[in-house]
Amino acid sequence: MENLIRCSKCSRDLPADSFYPYMVGKSGRRGFCKECHKVCQSKWADEHREGQKAYRRNWARQDRTKKYAKYRKQELRKKYRKYGLTEGWYEEQFAKQNGVCAICGKPEMRLHNMTKTLMPLSVDHNHATGKVRGLLCWGCNLTLHRVEDSGWLNQSLEYLRKFDS
């Protein structure tokens, strides 16, 4: 005969596999059956729905910021290794440039899409030699990349000449 366990909620005698495992209990199973457990969980979720939504939203917002900060540190460390820079190089260079872009002389204004925090200035380097030149804002860095790598400057000047007449 199969070992039956009495559910403390519905008072039915049910086989052991109708109860979730629980190491602390005498029988190694929860005190109430899976069906009663589902009902209790649903009831609790209904009663606490708004509080849980608010908690999750707040946690996600905080977690996103933490994850981005951790990710950004990892990315900077990779760049430091790649270009042979020290950990304090970015801060020193930032101070030398007074916190502004080396080309346009403006501070970085771009915000991170998820965290809505200010993006740091980009580490500019020569793509052929790997030599680091300075810190640039996102716009200048992107434009400089186009000019250096794809002949974008010549193409854009050619385009503008078409309309100069």
Per-domain residue ranges of the chain: 49-162
Given a contact cutoff of 8 angstroms between Cβ atoms, the answer to whether 108 and 138 are in contact is yes
pLDDT of the residue at 38: 94
Cβ density class 66-92: b for 16+ within 10 Å, e for less? eeeeeeeeeebeebbeeeebeeebbee
Name the residue with higher pLDDT: 58 or 98: 98
State the pLDDT at residue 111: 81
- What are the Cα distances from residue 102, in Å, to 45, 74, 148? 54, 24, 16
Inform me whether the pLDDT recorded for 25 exceeds 80. Answer: no
How many helices (H) and strands (E) the chain has is answered by 5, 4
CB-based contacts of 45, cutoff 8 Å, min separation 6 = 52
Confidence of residue 164 (pLDDT cuts 50, 70, 90): confident
3 state DSSP class of 93: helix
**Bigger pLDDT: 50 vs 67:** 50
Query: Which of 47-56, 89-98, 151-160 has the weakest average pLDDT?
Result: 151-160
Rounded distance between C-alpha atoms, residue 6 and residue 32, angstroms: 8
Tell me the whole-structure pTM to 2 decimals: 0.53
Q: Confidence band (pLDDT; 50, 70, 90) for 144?
A: confident
